[in-house]
Chains A and B, each alone.
Chain A
Amino acid sequence: MNLSKKSLMHMYETMIRIRLFELKLQEFFAAGEIPGFVHLYLGEEAVATGACTALTDSDKITSTHRGHGHLLAKGGDLKLMMAEIFGRQTGYCKGKGGSMHIADMDLGILGANGIVGGGGPLSVGAALAAKYQKTDDVAMCFFGDGASNQGTTQEALNMASAWKLPLVFVNENNGYGISCPQCKSMAVVDIADRAAAYDMPGVVVDGNDVLAVHEAVVEAVKRARKGEGPSLIECKTYRWRGHFEGDACTYRCVEELEEWKGKDPIPRFEAKLIESNTLTKAEAEETWKRIEKDVDEAVEFAKSSPMPSTSALMDDVYA
């Protein structure tokens, strides 16, 4: 695939942005400064990045409980996201949603989701709207290996296919639904095999290789835009942290984690960029530092923002 330096650098920066954002959250959650649940995307950055960089701003995505990566990759604002996760009035949802409910309709982000399998039917609706209104937009549904078993997900695959909707299903197979390994929740090894049941292409890619993800998704997006219907891309990856921050993670072994950490998508891509003279070591260092500063500023913004006022509680219940 021939990608411009600009696109490659955008992917590189996006992955770093997600990485540093999540590491910050990890730190502040441990310090007790973030309420509620936080599910980190560490280790899976290549999936959201490779997939969302195949989309335009007006394309739509549905996300999951592990959504920070998707939202950032789709262009989500660091400050507004951070403030929301800290429960501040200046956040994306004015502090009413938190980590699992961040949305930005202007960027085509139909929300993270606290319900496993909640996004599938919504993405069908988004794709349907695009087809109905004859826009050029496509929708993309992110969902986990666990979510792939939900009836809602299977129903969405079926309807999208029956109606030839412009929809790309991006399965993030990180091997576990909380403590349940994939082998205990389904008999198939490749979730992409399920695509056959709905007569759509099913592709397995290395989810820790941002270019592999991107390439497969670009194909699927093309197909969707041409009106040829949905595709299912399965990205094999791994989450580095427990299911949520605070999970002791006793159900998987350290060796497995170490093995996957060896496949860290960011240094892999960085090495490729340096090798191909797209990036110098000095530029790489500068990039990490610059983004670290952006993330710090986002934290600063969040922490200096006010908590929501109780007088706002009843706002936005009805239009």
Chain B
Amino acid sequence: MSEKTYLQALNEALRQEMESDEKVFILGEDVGQFGGCFGVTQGLFAEFGEERVMDTPITESTIVGAAAGAAACGLRPVAELMFVDFIGVAFDQLFNQAAKMRFMFGGKATVPMTLRMPQGAGIGAAAQHSQSLESWFMNIPGLKVVIPSTPHDAKGLLISAIRDDNPVVFLEHKLLYGATGEVPDESYSIELGKADVKREGSDVTIVAYSQMLYSALEAAEQLKADGINAEVVDPRCLLPLDKDTIIDSVKKTHKLVVAHEAVTFAGAGAEIAAIIADEAIEYIDAPIKRVGAPFCPVPFSPPLEQFYIPGAGQIIEAVKSIC
């Protein structure tokens, strides 16, 4: 066990899976000697060579499609798109091909691919390089959607994603690459679809993931001063979603706030709120609150961008409005 960054944790997961399974390989733009747009594949090219760390042309559709095709033929590709925003170019290959193959073919195909994509705002990258698109993928039967917040979760979940026999969309927040935490050196996996209670509390449940988890934890600390003891649940995986852990928490606290960086409208928070309304409304004694970005594209100029990104302040406000 030692302190590692989120980026190192991902890199270690890739290295260990490549060492233990020859079927695992990496493909994407500039993932080779360059080490990937944000450095996640650093060193792997030198270690495994160009047969297993493949620089592709700038053709996202074919990156995703080739990963799906290779996966259907027995390999375990880990594809990288530089930014989640580029999924638009490749969407058909993901949602009509990779996600549906197994079902359409009557269960005769298996598509064990992982598609890693950085997302999120905060670096002045503007409207086409800053989005949080997780809810798009949540609406596609056949996919799994993983969205880790800590280095420890990042490593264990990436290993599970690679070993999973389904297409897994793996969303990394670009501001988290430098986040540090304890990460075991050995290989380990974390079951996909299991939430994690990151902070225990009794007065309100805050569901938050990815970068927003940190805002939620900060909010929880500050809320102590008001005598509010918040529980923070990190779903870690949005599809499948661990409803039970969220419902159990709500049964205890009777209040729910869901926070994410994506726009609020039709975001993951809407689904989580709906699940509670459907299945646990009798335990809730205040309106369910959602915190997310305003319904506009991510702006460029720093003061606008900072204003756009939701943070601890909004979470505190939401909690106080119901506590």
Q: How far is the CA of A184 from the CA of B34 in the complex (A)?
A: 14
B172 CB to nearest A CB, Å: 18
> Cβ of B58 and Cβ of A95 under 8 Å apart?
no
| Inter-chain contact total with CB atoms closer than 8 Å | 122
> Cβ of A186 and Cβ of B294 under 8 Å apart?
no
Interface string of B108-147 (1 = CB under 8 A from A): 0000000000000001111111000000000000000000
Q: How far is the CA of A310 from the CA of B305 in the complex (A)?
A: 9
> Cβ of A101 and Cβ of B304 under 8 Å apart?
no
B54 CB to nearest A CB, Å: 10
B214 within 8 A of partner (CB): no
**Given A178-B30, A179-B34 in contact, is the A87-B58 Cβ separation under 8 Å?**
no
**Given A36-B300, A97-B300 in contact, is the A178-B127 Cβ separation under 8 Å?**
no
> Cβ of A180 and Cβ of B29 under 8 Å apart?
yes
Contacts of A36 in B (CB 8 A): 123-126, 300
Contact partner of A98 among B33, B55, B85, B301, CB < 8 A?
B301
Residues of B in contact with A, size category: 35 or more
A308 within 8 A of partner (CB): yes
Q: How far is the CA of A179 from the CA of B30 in the complex (A)?
A: 6
Q: How far is the CA of A261 from the CA of B295 in the complex (A)?
A: 46
Q: Using CB atoms, name the residue of chain A closest to B298.
A: A96
A242 CB to nearest B CB, Å: 11
> Cβ of B300 and Cβ of A180 under 8 Å apart?
no
Interface string of A131-154 (1 = CB under 8 A from B): 000000000000000110111100
Q: Using CB atoms, name the residue of chain B closest to A89.
A: B301
A180 CB to nearest B CB, Å: 5
B86 within 8 A of partner (CB): yes
Q: How far is the CA of A116 from the CA of B37 in the complex (A)?
A: 15
> Cβ of B57 and Cβ of A35 under 8 Å apart?
no
> Cβ of A114 and Cβ of B127 under 8 Å apart?
yes
Q: How far is the CA of A146 from the CA of B29 in the complex (A)?
A: 10
Contacts of A93 in B (CB 8 A): 300
B59 within 8 A of partner (CB): yes
A313 within 8 A of partner (CB): yes
A115 within 8 A of partner (CB): yes
On chain A, the number of residues with a Cβ less than 8 Å from chain B's Cβ atoms is 40
> Cβ of A310 and Cβ of B296 under 8 Å apart?
no
> Cβ of A97 and Cβ of B127 under 8 Å apart?
yes
Interface string of B278-318 (1 = CB under 8 A from A): 00000000000000001111011111100110000000000
> Cβ of A310 and Cβ of B303 under 8 Å apart?
yes
**Given A37-B129, A98-B124, A114-B126 in contact, is the A146-B57 Cβ separation under 8 Å?**
yes
B222 within 8 A of partner (CB): no
> Cβ of A95 and Cβ of B128 under 8 Å apart?
no
Contacts of B129 in A (CB 8 A): 37, 100, 114
> Cβ of A115 and Cβ of B304 under 8 Å apart?
no
Q: How far is the CA of A307 from the CA of B294 in the complex (A)?
A: 19
A163 within 8 A of partner (CB): no
Q: How far is the CA of A151 from the CA of B62 in the complex (A)?
A: 9
Contacts of B124 in A (CB 8 A): 35-37, 87, 98
Q: Using CB atoms, name the residue of chain A closest to B127.
A: A101
Q: Using CB atoms, name the residue of chain B closest to A98.
A: B300
> Cβ of B303 and Cβ of A314 under 8 Å apart?
no
Contacts of B56 in A (CB 8 A): 185
A177 within 8 A of partner (CB): yes
Q: How far is the CA of A178 from the CA of B62 in the complex (A)?
A: 18
B202 within 8 A of partner (CB): no
Contact partner of B57 among A89, A101, A149, CB < 8 A?
A149
Query: Using a CB–CB distance below 8 Å, which chain B residues touch chain A?
Result: 29-30, 32-34, 55-59, 61-62, 85-86, 88-89, 123-129, 294-297, 299-304, 307-308
Query: Using a CB–CB distance below 8 Å, which chain A residues touch chain B?
Result: 35-37, 87-89, 93, 95-98, 100-101, 113-117, 146-147, 149-152, 177-180, 184-186, 250-251, 307-308, 310, 312-314, 317
Q: What are 18 contact pairs spanning A and B, CB under 8 A? A: A95-B299, A95-B301, A96-B126, A96-B297, A97-B300, A98-B124, A114-B129, A115-B85, A115-B89, A147-B58, A149-B57, A177-B57, A179-B32, A251-B33, A307-B302, A313-B294, A313-B308, A314-B296
